[in-house]
Amino acid sequence: MNRHDVQVLLVTEDADLVVTLGHALMTGLSANLTVSDRVEQAGVLAESNSFDVIVASQHVSDGTGLSMLADRSDDAASPVILLDEGMDAQRILTALRLGAADVFVKPFDMPRLVNSVRRAADRRRKHRQDTSRANRLRKVSSRLVKDRKELRDRVDLICRDLVQAYRRLAEKVVEISPGSSEPEKTGELV
């Protein structure tokens, strides 16, 4: 990965977590880290920037990490990794059903968390590439269909012209065929 290749949005009020996770992501992934201490602000940042991954604490003063998952509008949204101090199994399942890429409970295993961010960023990057490729293929296919129609129209026009030319030729052949009033041309000089 190139330096600052992975764009991470960290949503937490925990200053120690910002320092610890920020250091781990910078050294492990050379990530570019943007920090927000509010869910609402994080939503605005996520809409206006292209983050590869969002890492969110479950509890922030103006919302929850789960609310960030529920508010996402499309499948192309950045993957969200949730962090919590004590999620029970039911809330973890709810988070995963809502689309969380991963869930970590304190104490966090930093190498595993960094690997999870890397995997989520790779999936996001692959999704972007696939979407871009599909869009390019759609454009090429559309152009191909349009060009094919134009070519078919031109071939139809040529065929109509040929049919008319053959009709005129047939009419002329009938006009100068034996038994008509015009003398037959033999090609001899007189």
pLDDT value, residue 146: 96
Is the pLDDT assigned to residue 32 strictly greater than 70?
yes
How far apart (Å, rounded) are the C-alpha atoms in residues 11 and 8? 10
Length of the chain counted residue by residue: 190
How far apart are alpha carbons 144 and 9 in whole angstroms? 41
Q: Give the domain range for residue 33.
A: 7-137
Q: What is the pLDDT of residues 103-132, one digit of tens each?
A: 998 888 999 999 999 999 999 989 989 999
Give the pLDDT confidence score for residue 111 in this predicted structure. 93
Residue carrying structure tokens 């949005």: 9
pLDDT at 74: 62
Q: Could you tell me the pTM of the whole model?
A: 0.70
The most confident of 39-48, 62-71, 134-143, by mean pLDDT: 134-143
| Tokens encoding 94 | 């709810």
176 in a structural domain: no
Q: How far apart are CA 138 and CA 143, in angstroms?
A: 9
- Structural domain contains residue 54: yes
The pLDDT of residue 3: 44
Report the number of distinct structural domains present in the chain: 1
Domain-embedded: residue 166: no
Query: Does residue 71 fall inside a structural domain?
Result: yes
Task: Determine whether 9 is exposed, middle or buried from the number of CB atoms within 10 Å of its CB (0-12, 13-18, 19+).
Answer: buried
Which one is predicted more confidently, 96 or 72? Answer: 96
| pLDDT for residue 88 | 82
CB 29 within 8 A of CB 114: yes
Question: What does the angle CA 116 – CA 21 – CA 99 come to, to the nearest 5 degrees?
Answer: 40
Indicate the residue type of 135: N
Residue 37 lies in a domain: yes
Domain-located, residue 53: yes
Q: What percent of the chain has pLDDT over 90?
A: 47
- Is there a domain that residue 57 lies in? yes
Q: Has residue 11 been placed in a domain?
A: yes
What letter represents residue 36's amino acid? S
CATH number assigned to the domain comprising residue 106 = 3.40.50.2300
pLDDT at 46 over 90: no
